[in-house]
Amino acid sequence: MISGGGTGGHIYPAIAIANAWVEKHPDSEVLFVGALGKMEMQKVPEAGYKIIGLPVAGLQRSLTWKNLSFPFKLIKSLAKAGEIVKDFKPQVVIGVGGYASGPVLYAAQGKKIPTLIQEQNSYAGITNKILSKRAKTICVAYPNMQSFFPADRLVLTGNPVRKDILHLDGKREKAMAHFDLDPTRKTLLVLGGSLGARTLNQATLKDMKVFEKDGYQVLWQSGKYYFKDMSKAVEDSGLEHIHLREFIREMDLAYSAADVIVSRAGALSVSELSLVGKPVIFIPSPNVAEDHQTKNAMAYVLQEAALILKDAEAVGQMKEEVDSIMNEPDLVKRLSQNIRALAKPNAAEGIVNEIEKLIA
């Protein structure tokens, strides 16, 4: 049983673990448990797995009437999680973070079923810290996580990612044709997530004319929330080399096309970009718990594996940071080598090995 979700950063590693497990153990039955109304309820069935939803929701950090329903939803979710665990009788339960993982792992631990936590970030959330006290194994993506978890149960596996980005060699020509890019221009890839990142969009919008003037082209994922406004702005500008997309599904091709990548610093993004091995400028989101995106990015910056630009400084300074990489071949080489050295391409298989130890 695999529980959690809420964002792609939780869901895609969960699916990668399930895929790696089923590939090795094809006769297994895998059940996901997510939160009703969250994206896992769509993404998990699309990946071919059954999922059951809990009515659980998060506690809002600001004072809001929504918090009044929190204890009732939690109690109901705990009861339902107990029923699901009792009916399914899993041999092991995996928590990947997100609203549903708390009630499900709590129920499993109460029934003495082995549990494994997969923590994607360099700064652990409160739910995982609580659950780790009775978890058998905690798989992490960053070293030095003993300040959050029991050191004797930590295993450094990395974050599981989709398989298609492991093989980018020879795809550049196909990528140029797919996105209608000019092979004579250097390509900047801007990624703000599936919903979008306001600052990254504003920064790209401000600098897009000078990017084109200086001979670059931009492959730009604006996200669902901002696509309409950004699309109108690009259309009105008359620029030919700003290639806007609401969402990019063919990420292997997008990465193949890129010379420099600008991205948020969510755990999954950071892990994927390590495997890609291209120069990266991280612009961490300030709107996340414990500022964990900055901590994710700094773990790479301190290894000279990426550059970082504060969210508050991105609009107006992004072009300067991009230029600092595009015009320095030695920096491109150093950043690429160092970020690739931090990659863990076999994370899912490593987690599968840990699951097998719990069942044996």
Chain region(s) in the chain for CATH 3.40.50.2000: 2-159+345-359, 164-341
Known binding residue 297? Answer is no
Known binding residue 144? Answer is no
Domain 2-159+345-359, what fold?
Rossmann fold (3.40.50)
Q: How far apart are CA 263 and CA 255, in angstroms?
A: 12
Known binding residue 271? Answer is yes
Known binding residue 313? Answer is no
Known binding residue 194? Answer is yes
Known binding residue 162? Answer is yes
Residue 224 confidence (pLDDT): 87
Known binding residue 192? Answer is no
Known binding residue 7? Answer is yes
pTM: 0.86
Known binding residue 210? Answer is no
Residue 110 confidence (pLDDT): 97
CA dihedral sign of residues 99, 41, 263, 240: negative
Would you tell me the crossing angle of helices 311-326 and 198-213 to the nearest 10 degrees? 30
Known binding residue 9? Answer is yes
Residue spans of the chain under pLDDT 70 = 57-70, 194-195
Known binding residue 304? Answer is no
Known binding residue 198? Answer is no
Residue 69 confidence (pLDDT): 63
Residue 64 confidence (pLDDT): 58
Which CATH number applies to 164-341?
A: 3.40.50.2000
